[in-house]
Structure 1
Amino acid sequence: MKSKFAKKIALVTGANRGIGFETSKQLSQFGLKVILTARDRIKGENATKKLKDQGLDVIFYELDVTDKENITNVCNTIEEKFSRLDVLVNNAAILYDPYQSALNADLEIVNQALRTNLYGPWLLCQAFIPLMKRNNYGRIVNVSSGAGSLHYMNGGAPAYGISKVALNALTRKLASKLAGTNILVNSIDPGWVATDMGGKGGRPVAEGAKGIVWACLLPNNGPSGGFFYDGQTERW
């Protein structure tokens, strides 16, 4: 599928399976070159091969979003090889913890969730925004959750939910600092999706990824600093 997005480059974290894998697939089908990343090299390479076997333009980089040195090395490699990154999808996330409550949560588990679900995206944004500024173009998509909405908040899954609330706050702060540029930053709630993390009974992965892809392909006058579900405004 050819399109006006054919020369753009996207990086998707946590993309060896689930929503990240499907997002990589759909972006590739729109003509973007996709850098599929994952912590596990073998799983990441196998996922990349599946998409390449479909004729899609996907390459693999090993990336642990909690490792600042690893992030810096990947950023330097992309800058040297492509001189640009147009789309950053912060999808990698861990620790959906419905077995905990806010009353008795193990704060070390909460800290682990924050390291991946908040600090990882934050480090990646700090690494790649200068490159986006240089090219006057960027779409940053933070994959959030309904569990991160204060409107729907309850006492369960505290590590995961609080990490996603914080990710939404990061979206707002980055969007504010980037106002007036052509770098748009948004949070996306993909809904309850049938993945290894989401479990059975959720919506199909392809449907969950569509809202993410929508935010990746926003026009220059598109929204920034928002929280969306299937392209519609979600309650914070």
Structure 2
Amino acid sequence: MSERTIALVTGANKGIGYEIAAGMGALGWSVGVGARDTQRRGAAVERLRAAGADAFGVPLDVTDDASVTAAAQLIEDRAGRLDVLVNNAAVTGGMPQEPTRVDPATIRTVVETNVIGVIRVTNAMLPLLRRSASPRIVNMSSGVGSLTRQSRGGGEQAVGPVSAAYAPSKTFLNAVTLQYARDLSGTDILINAGCPGYVATDLNGFSGVRTPEQGAAIALRLATLPDGGPTGQFFEDAGVVPW
């Protein structure tokens, strides 16, 4: 592509999202830093620009229709198209999450961000993505969303704590990703789910064993897939993750 690649990363003001944006900036892309917090978004954009990235702020609350519509209009006005969308914004919802103890409101909050938010943003950005020569969508999932791994066990580090909100929301996201791939078959849009591994972020109290930069690697890999590459699949650094 002769023109600079245009990307949007949701939840990009910190953690894995920030490192995804940084990695894209290092590739010479123009990167939209999607975040709802004005101060943190601005600080992230400044850091990225200081490192040489072509970064710009995108006010974005994935749970709000008007915010998402405005974000799409901002990118329309700035670039007229979108080449890469990374749906990274997510919440854990807090504890307790055991199904016997969880507050249904917690499940509703988590699904609103982690699943419905992805659908809301993706659908708003699809008209812009359709104008790209090589459009890519990456949904940041988690290995804890793998029903195969959950059913086999393997310890908390592999499948997380017992959860009726966060882990199932990632299972739901994986299922939605697969349905998008079916719906978009026959187009140039490649959409895949990516697992960053157990990364030390504020979502897990920084208990993870991987750095945010390591966690961002799978998103960069899926964002740069060649034309005709895989779609509707679930990947981690080591390869395909079982559904």
TM-score normalised by structure 1 residue count: 0.94
Maintained 8 Å contact 1:10/1:86: yes
**Distance apart, 1:37 and its partner CA:** 1.1
Show structure 1 runs of 5+ residues with no match.
Answer: none
Query: 1 CA distance for matches of 2:172 and 2:19?
Result: 25
Question: Which residue identity does 2:216 align to in structure 1?
Answer: A
CA 56–136 in structure 1, closer or farther in 2 if over 3 Å, else same:
closer
1:65-89 Cα deviation digits (max 9, x unpaired): 0001110111112112211001000
Maintained 8 Å contact 1:5/1:30: no
Q: How does 1:48-197 map to 2 (within 5 A)?
A: 48-95=45-92, 97=94, 99-153=96-150, 156-197=162-203
Show structure 2 runs of 5+ residues with no match.
Answer: 152-160
Note the aligned Cα RMSD (angstroms).
1.6
CA 134–56 in structure 1, closer or farther in 2 if over 3 Å, else same:
closer
Bigger drift between 146-155 and 117-126 goes to: 146-155
Query: 2 CA distance for matches of 1:37 and 1:201?
Result: 24
Count how many residue pairs are aligned between Structure 1 and Structure 2.
233
Maintained 8 Å contact 1:110/1:158: yes
Matched, 1:31 2:28: yes
CA 107–5 in structure 1, closer or farther in 2 if over 3 Å, else same:
farther
Matched, 1:220 2:227: yes
1:74-113 Cα deviation digits (max 9, x unpaired): 1112112211001000000002546321222211000000
Query: 1 CA distance for matches of 2:5 and 2:226?
Result: 13
Query: 2 CA distance for matches of 1:110 and 1:176?
Result: 27
Identity among equivalent pairs (%) = 39
Maintained 8 Å contact 1:97/1:157: no
Query: 1 CA distance for matches of 2:79 and 2:95?
Result: 41
1:36-64 Cα deviation digits (max 9, x unpaired): 01110001100110111111111111110
TM-score normalised by structure 2 residue count: 0.91
